[in-house]
Structure 1
């Protein structure tokens, strides 16, 4: 077992989360896209917000996919929404 797997298992046990319900690679891919596409500090914040939404039952089923797409298109989205002001 590597350190990441050990840490994940320990955190899941501490928080009462079923580790089988976590798609580690999907979350890591999301945070990678956010860190590179938006800003590095936005990655852990996004993961935290996703967790809050999941826990509250308000996250859509495709939340990770939607957030990943937002991060990949961040520069284009901000150009379109901010314009040349």
Structure 2
């Protein structure tokens, strides 16, 4: 059974029309996000520091990652080494 020529044309028009609607919606969303809140935003980073003077080299976006890294520091040291303190900071980042 062959598809009529008009049906193929209608299907193609619907697909192209849907793609244009999606494209316009994405363009609108991008233009809104560019004008609203452009510039630096605050983001929370998690760090650890130990009584022995050791500390994290950079911030982690998740508290669980910083806790695991602090625990790894403790595991590398001798038995009885204190557990490092985990704390957060807010830093401005460009979006």
Greater gyration radius: 2
**TM-score relative to the length of structure 1:** 0.23
TM-score by length of 2: 0.21
Q: Quick one: higher RCO (CA 8 Å, sep 6+), 1 or 2?
A: 2
Whose helix fraction is larger, Structure 1's or Structure 2's?
Answer: 1
